[in-house]
Amino acid sequence: MLLHVSELPHLLLETSSAFPLPLLFLLLSSSFFVHDMMTFSPGYGAVQLPPIDGPTRSFDMRKYKTAATTILRSGRINELRKFNRTLPVCNLPFEVLQRIFIECAQLPVDLPTWSWVGITFVCSTWRQAALECPELWTYIDFSHPRMMTLTLRRAQMSPISIRATVGAHNQRALHHALQCSPMIRDVHLISSLYDIGPLIGTLKHPNRFLESLIINISGPEDNHDIRYSKRSMSASGPPLLALRYLELHRTHISLVSPRYTGLTHLSLHHLPFYERPTRQDFLSLLERFTMLRHLTLVRAFPKNIVAGSLASGRPVHLPTLLTVSLTGSVQELVNILECITLPPHGRLHCHVDRMGDFKTHFWKLAKVIGAHFHDIAWTMPLDTLILTGHEESLRFTEELELNPAFRQTLQMRAFGPTESAEPLLDLVIGPDAHTSHDEIIIATLASVWEALPLPYVQTLILQNLNVVTHKTWPRLLACLPSLRVLDICGHAPSGLVWALLLNARSHSHLEHDDMSSMFLPHLEDIYLHDVDCFAGGMMVSSSATVNSHCDLDDTRFFDVLAAYLDDRQRCALELRSLCISRCSNVLKNMLEDVRECVAHLLWDHRGGLKDDSTGTVNSDSPATYRAFWPSKPPVLRHYFRLRALLEME
């Protein structure tokens, strides 16, 4: 493998305006390094260095010395150096090079034998830039004992950073560094359960200057057999005010010490069952972290939780808490949220990945979430709702049975009136075996929706959400009296437009002006993005399932929407604008009809179709459906509901 040095600045410039750190890291870790005496120019004769087999192979100084000797013996070293000085990559500002070097030193935590020190041997300019950057040498290189000694010596008395994948080649060196280094700034270790054992005792007595501690033990997410030794419990001693960030994956619970009174970020992931504390102990521990701002629990909940009762008798109040992020079952989330009082400015992120007995517990979860947002409704009202659906695999097998691998996820995000990119509520339901059924998704959405205070919501955004039926949408729409903007992206929500049409039609034929039960009376703008305007909808079944995948509506989505806009105009509620972008199967004659119902109509021509009564695409073309079946769809029963509705008049 040969690489011309002059290619490096092109790689730098072709990426984003920010420095191309991952690209440079990959380049330097997967190719050989270039010295002043090793310029790979055809005019000077290229020297073939041994290729490095992947980014995990360590820097071999012996091989590079051999290659350098070959160049020196050629007698052309000064000529090669002069040529190197003309290359842009060797003339980058030191500030740029040093920032890139530091990022390279921070990245390879999961590359056990890659040595970031190798970048200092690229050329004399890079070497000088590295030597003049004291911060760079505080990232100790544990790929080889020699590299560790070199970086520790250059770090001198500065606070160091210990970042490594623990293995037999560096276990003893890491133990020595953790115990003997006078000042440690941060520790980030990736290890197996076996390799981390000798370091656990040292990690329980961290350096008093430590600011960040991240321990990631590799293994399955739900391993109930992991047990650590109980001989060494939480260390006692003075408070460690410097530690701000603590992130643990499958580790010993005693690493969460009550001494960390200055902690601002606590993140626990997949805590082994036998390492989980009781709820009383967990709450007592949380109360000590009075400066905590971000709490994350991912399947790391107390093990003896009892719904509806607080062992401590009162909830924990953390006044500086900004974000609570929880991932687990419905019951686990309910029991933690019942124990924590979230401040008015706090954000709540919940991921229910195990529904369990959702009928018993989900209404409790909705009640707890709704209670918090009702308390802050006057100071931080909800302004925008985003509903996103996601499906994994096909719904049915070749035998036309529900695919056991089919899963779907519903995400609800709620934003306040500010321009913050972070939602006040981020709720994810699924994927789980229970969420393969539409009624679970619909019931959970309705329960949370009705528990939230939504009278001031201005914008509703639907992304690939079409499983909610028109029988459920009226319950949801009745909670949005102030809605002004409806944004639809992806799958066409047939249930929504049918609920709007039937409601508007019932009002457009009234002889009096009673509009008190009119849905979305203040709606002004509708946006359609990437929607198939020929999409048909699923009918509501009388069986146990919510949607019938065999009884389909042949009425196309845009036809129902146009009928709704027409009836809305009859009620003297003309829409201000309709925007159609990147949609498919948009008939020109339908656009002309809709133009009469809205004040402003905007569309692009990418999905437009001419209405050709002699061709295959015309006003009577059938609706299209998503690929719910693998290859052999069952015999379907089709209904043209809009036509039947018009004939009834």
Longest dimension (CA), the chain: 103
pLDDT average, residue stretch 362-378: 89
What are the tokens at 610?
A: 């001419």
Strands 547-553 and 537-540: antiparallel
- Residue 635: CB atoms within 10 A of its CB come to 5
β-bridge mates for residue 347, sequence order: 323
Q: Which residue has the higher pLDDT, 86 or 459?
A: 459
d(CA 219, CA 80): 50
The top-scoring range by mean pLDDT among 139-148, 243-252, 539-548, 624-633 is: 243-252
Residues 6+ apart with CB under 8 A from 298: 267, 268, 269, 270, 325, 326, 327, 328
What per-residue confidence (pLDDT) applies to 138?
92
What per-residue confidence (pLDDT) applies to 122?
74
* First-to-last C-alpha distance (Å) of the chain: 78
What per-residue confidence (pLDDT) applies to 596?
87
How do residues 227-286 score in pLDDT, each as one tens digit? 555 544 455 678 889 999 999 999 888 889 889 999 999 999 998 887 788 888 888 889
Is the pLDDT at 649 greater than 70? The verdict is no
**What is the DSSP annotation of 430-452?**
--SGGGGSHHHHHHHHHHHHHHS
Is the pLDDT at 493 greater than 80? The verdict is yes
Q: Which residue has the higher pLDDT, 66 or 586?
A: 586
d(CA 249, CA 236): 23
pLDDT band at 479 (very low <50, low <70, confident <90, very high): very high
d(CA 207, CA 235): 13
pLDDT band at 90 (very low <50, low <70, confident <90, very high): confident
Is the pLDDT at 87 greater than 70? The verdict is yes
One-letter amino acid for residue 69 of the chain: T
The pTM assigned to this predicted structure is 0.81
Is the pLDDT at 210 greater than 90? The verdict is yes
How do residues 595-633 score in pLDDT, each as one tens digit? 988 999 998 877 666 655 444 455 567 788 887 777 777
What per-residue confidence (pLDDT) applies to 522?
93
Q: Which residue has the higher pLDDT, 375 or 34?
A: 375
CA distances to 173, 177, 222, 605 from 167, rounded to whole Å, are 10, 15, 23, 59
User: Average per-residue pLDDT in the chain?
Assistant: 80
One-letter amino acid for residue 356 of the chain: G
What per-residue confidence (pLDDT) applies to 557?
94
Cα-based angle 341, 346, 351 (whole degrees, multiple of 5): 85
How do residues 37-58 score in pLDDT, each as one tens digit? 333 333 333 333 333 333 334 4
Structural domain spans, the chain = 1-125
pLDDT average, residue stretch 503-518: 74
The residue assigned the tokens 């006692």 is 236
Closest CA to 325 of 294, 302, 349: 349
Residue 253 DSSP class: G
What are the tokens at 184?
A: 């440690």
| Range from 62-66, 173-177, 427-431 carrying the lowest mean pLDDT | 62-66
What's phi and psi for 362, nearest 5 deg?
-70, -35
CA distances to 420, 567, 597 from 513, rounded to whole Å, are 40, 14, 20
Count Cβ atoms within 10 A of the Cβ of residue 62 and give its class: 0-12 exposed, 13-18 middle, 19 or more buried.
exposed
The top-scoring range by mean pLDDT among 85-99, 498-512, 561-575, 598-612 is: 561-575
Is the pLDDT at 537 greater than 50? The verdict is yes
pLDDT average, residue stretch 97-108: 83
Is the pLDDT at 133 greater than 60? The verdict is yes
What per-residue confidence (pLDDT) applies to 223?
57
One-letter amino acid for residue 148 of the chain: M
Q: Which residue has the higher pLDDT, 160 or 516?
A: 160
> Could you give the 3-state DSSP secondary structure of residue 198?
helix
pLDDT band at 577 (very low <50, low <70, confident <90, very high): very high
**What is the DSSP annotation of 279-325?**
HHHHHHHHHH-TT--EEEEES---SS--TT--TTSS-EE-TT--EEE
Count Cβ atoms within 10 A of the Cβ of residue 421 and give its class: 0-12 exposed, 13-18 middle, 19 or more buried.
exposed
- Residue 384: CB atoms within 10 A of its CB come to 18
Closest CA to 423 of 372, 386, 448, 451: 386
> Could you give the 3-state DSSP secondary structure of residue 537?
strand
38, 5 Cβ separation under 8 angstroms: no
> Could you give the 3-state DSSP secondary structure of residue 567?
helix
Q: Give the rounded percent of residues in the chain with a pLDDT score beyond 90.
A: 33
CA distances to 107, 165, 484, 579, 592 from 599, rounded to whole Å, are 54, 63, 15, 11, 12
pLDDT average, residue stretch 298-304: 83
Strands 323-329 and 265-269: unpaired
Closest CA to 390 of 313, 494, 462: 462
pLDDT average, residue stretch 60-71: 60
pLDDT average, residue stretch 399-425: 88
